[in-house]
Amino acid sequence: MSDPTSPPAPAGTAATPDAIVIGAGPGGLATAAALRHHGVRPLVLERAEQLGASWRGHYDRLHLHTTRRLSALPGLRIPRAYGRWVGRDDVVRYLEQYAEHHSLDIATGITVDRVERGDAGWELPANGGRVLRSPVVVVATGHNHTPHIPDWPGRDTFPGELLHAAAYRNAAPYAGRDVLVVGVGNTGAEIAVDLVEGGAGRVRLAVRTPPHIMRRSTAGWPAQASGILVRRLPPRLVDRVAPYIERMSVPDLSAYGLPLPESGLYARVLDGAIPVQDVGLIDAVRSRRVEPVAAVERFEGAEVHLADGSQIAPEVVVAATGYRRGLEGLVGHLGVLDRRGRPVVHGARTPPGAPGLFFTGFTNPISGMFREMAIDAVRIAKAASRIRR
C-alpha cells in the first residue's frame, strides 16, 4: 500500500499501470483484487487519507443488512467472528485486511477531478501536478458520494440544528431533545430507532412515499436471499406476489401513520429505492415512540410546515435525504451518464465511445450491494484483461 505521507510526484510525471481504480471502498478494492488475479496491475486512487473512508464515516450502530456469507469480496471471506450481520467497525477492519491480503497498491490523498481521453487510453490529472495514464479506468467512487439536503424554502431561517444523516454518529447529543428525521429509507429508519433507543425526547419521521418494509430475517431466512431469487423473476410477477409475502411478515402500520405503499416492490427497486430492512422500526412505530408525519414542505423560522398542512417545531432536523453520485465533473463531459447522473452501464460493459472505462457500485440492488460489487469486480477484470492483451 502506498505511503500517503510520501512527497508528490513532480508536475507532469506520468504513471502507467495496467488499470487505474478510482475509489478505495469495497467496490474499488474488490475490482483491484480481481484485476490482479487476472494478471492486470491496478493502481487504486483514494482521495481520503485512509481506505474505506465512506464506511468509517457512517453512524455507529450501522450493520450490513446482508449476511456475512453473502457479502464477502472476491478472494477473502469475512471472518466468522464478525457475526452474521457485520458492524461498521468490522466492515472497515475487513476492508483493511482485504487490501493487505491481496497486496493492493493504494495511493491515498490523491484527488482526481476529471477523466480525460488520451492518445493511448485515459489521462487523469491529479493533485500535486500528477498526470496518471492507463488504458483502463474503473470508477468506483461510490453510491453515497455527496450528501444532499433539499433546498426547502426557508431552510436558512431555521434556528435549530439541521444536519445531514452523513454527519450523524449516535443519539448521545440528542438525549431529551425533539428530533425530526426526514426520509424513510434504511438510513432514516435506523437513525429514528437509534434516537428513541438513545433517549431522544421525541422522534418524528417525515415520510413522502411510504416504503416497503421487510424483516431482515424471517425464521432464519435472510431477506437478501429472497432478493437474490427474485432478481431472476419478471418484475411484474414479483410485484404481484410481494404484497402477500409482506402481509404475512409485516403488520399493517396504516393506523400509525405509515400506510402500505401504492407502487410495487420491484418497481420501486428498479427506480432505485430498495425496501427498508426492519431493525426495530416496526416496534418503534407500533409503540408510538417513532411518529410518522407528512413530508416536509418548507421552513418558517422554528416551524416546519408539512405536506398535510400541519406545523411542528422540532429542535433538531436530521435529513436522511440521500446522496448524489457526484460524477458530473469527473466523467459528465464524456457522455456516459443518464439524465439522473447515473452511469449508462456498469460492470463488464463500457459506455459507447468510451472503451476501457468501467463503473461499479452505482446501483442499489435488492440482492445486496457488496454481493453485486463482487460479481461486477470479476466481470470487469475479465473484460480489462482482454483490453490489456
Average pLDDT of the residues in 194-203: 98
DSSP for 215-282, written as a single string:
ESEETTEEHHHHHHHHTTS-HHHHHHHHHHHHHHHS---GGGT-PPPSS-HHHHHHTT-PPEEESSHH
Answer whether residue 21 is part of any domain: yes
- In 3D space, the residue among 160, 214, 215, 198 whose CA is nearest the CA of residue 182 turns out to be 160
121 and 42 in a common domain: yes
- pLDDT at residue 343, as a whole number: 95
Of 34-38, 74-78, 117-121, 226-230, which gets the smallest average pLDDT? 226-230
214 and 333 in a common domain: no
Q: Report whether pLDDT(14) > 90.
A: no
- pLDDT at residue 3, as a whole number: 42
Percentage of the chain exceeding pLDDT 70: 96
pTM of the entire predicted model: 0.90
Answer whether residue 245 is part of any domain: yes
- pLDDT at residue 36, as a whole number: 97
373 and 351 in a common domain: yes
Q: Please give the mean pLDDT across all residues of the chain.
A: 91
173 and 287 in a common domain: yes
Report pLDDT digits (tens) over 37-68.
999 999 999 999 999 999 999 999 999 999 99
- pLDDT at residue 266, as a whole number: 77
203 and 260 in a common domain: yes
319 and 187 in a common domain: yes
Answer whether residue 3 is part of any domain: no
**Given 274, 294, 323, which residue is the final one in a domain?**
323
Q: Report whether pLDDT(23) > 90.
A: yes
**Given 323, 347, 362, which residue is the final one in a domain?**
323
**Given 295, 323, 351, which residue is the final one in a domain?**
323
186 and 92 in a common domain: no
Question: What is the C-alpha R_g of the chain?
Answer: 22
156 and 126 in a common domain: no
CATH number for the domain including 383? 3.50.50.60
177 and 80 in a common domain: no
133 and 26 in a common domain: yes
DSSP for 41-74, written as a single string:
-EEEEESSSSTTHHHHTS-TT-B-SS-STTSPBT
- pLDDT at residue 242, as a whole number: 81
Report pLDDT digits (tens) over 264-311.
887 887 777 889 999 999 999 999 999 999 999 999 999 999 999 999
- pLDDT at residue 270, as a whole number: 75
User: In which domain, by residue range, is 291 found?
Assistant: 147-323
Query: Could you count the other beta carbons within 10 Å of the beta carbon of residue 263?
Result: 13
342 and 201 in a common domain: no
230 and 342 in a common domain: no
- Looking at the structure of the chain, the number of domains it has is 2
Report pLDDT digits (tens) over 340-357.
899 999 999 999 999 999
Strongest mean pLDDT among 14-23, 140-149, 174-183: 174-183
Report pLDDT digits (tens) over 140-176.
998 888 899 999 999 999 999 999 999 999 999 999 9
Average pLDDT of the residues in 363-388: 92
